[in-house]
Chain A
Amino acid sequence: GDSVTQMEGPVTLSEEAFLTINCTYTATGYPSLFWYVQYPGEGLQLLLKATKADDKGSNKGFEATYRKETTSFHLEKGSVQVSDSAVYFCALSESGGYQKVTFGTGTKLQVIP
């Protein structure tokens, strides 16, 4: 079945550092890929998405490129802020049928001033 693997956390960075959170997936067919963010005490929020190979999703300075050849969707940001501290989830959704969504285990990011 489908699966999403993301790097173990927590990841601790200093403010203005470069961020990469790795995400790889296994799926049959051509899934859509997503990054969600969860701030303490809240539900998940959609951060960015890509629906086909080579698409780049971007939002709030975060970017991720759908790489079919490496089955990856790594999240990057050039300069993190303290306010980016949260848990980040990579997810995929089947493109047909019931469009089941599969989430990774989440990566906690802590940014220190």
Chain B
Amino acid sequence: KAGVTQTPRYLIKTRGQQVTLSCSPISGHRSVSWYQQTPGQGLQFLFEYFSETQRNKGNFPGRFSGRQFSNSRSEMNVSTLELGDSALYLCASSLSAANYGYTFGSGTRLTVV
């Protein structure tokens, strides 16, 4: 059974650019959540999608957006990149977070220079 796949694994971007990260969940999982992980702030919740609808949103500026497609694959986009956006971005999918927990991908390491 394939796990959660995130692409790309590593990314280097320049300030002001935009970036799109991709996440393919485990087959059958309709919920996809995104987290930002940094040494200083730990794991910060970005948003959660379920059946193409955003169900939950964290406290991030509007530069951070996402979407989910009919096959449950999800993308997140960050526009006008800032140095502080450098982080590990983690995607997690689940059948039911409360009953089964999350399955995480390996993450995308974004470096903004």
Q: Quick check: is B66 within 8 A (CB to CB) of the other chain?
A: no
* A positions within 8 Å CB-CB of B: 31-32, 34, 36, 41-46, 49, 51, 89, 93-96, 98-101, 103, 105-106
Contact B99 A51 (CB under 8 A): yes
Known: A89-B43, A103-B42, A106-B42. A51 touches B106 (CB 8 A): no
Contact A98 B101 (CB under 8 A): no
Known: A100-B56, A101-B45, A105-B42. A93 touches B106 (CB 8 A): no
- Which of A31, A43, A93, A106 has a CB less than 8 Å from the CB of B107? A43
Residues on A with beta carbons closer than 8 Å to the beta carbon of B98? 31-32, 51, 93-96, 99
Q: How many A-B contacts if CB must be within 8 Å?
A: 58
Contact A93 B90 (CB under 8 A): no
Residues on A with beta carbons closer than 8 Å to the beta carbon of B102? 36, 44, 46, 101
Report Cα–Cα, A93/B97, bound state, in Å. Answer: 7
Q: Which of B43, B92, B106 has the most CB of A within 10 A?
A: B43
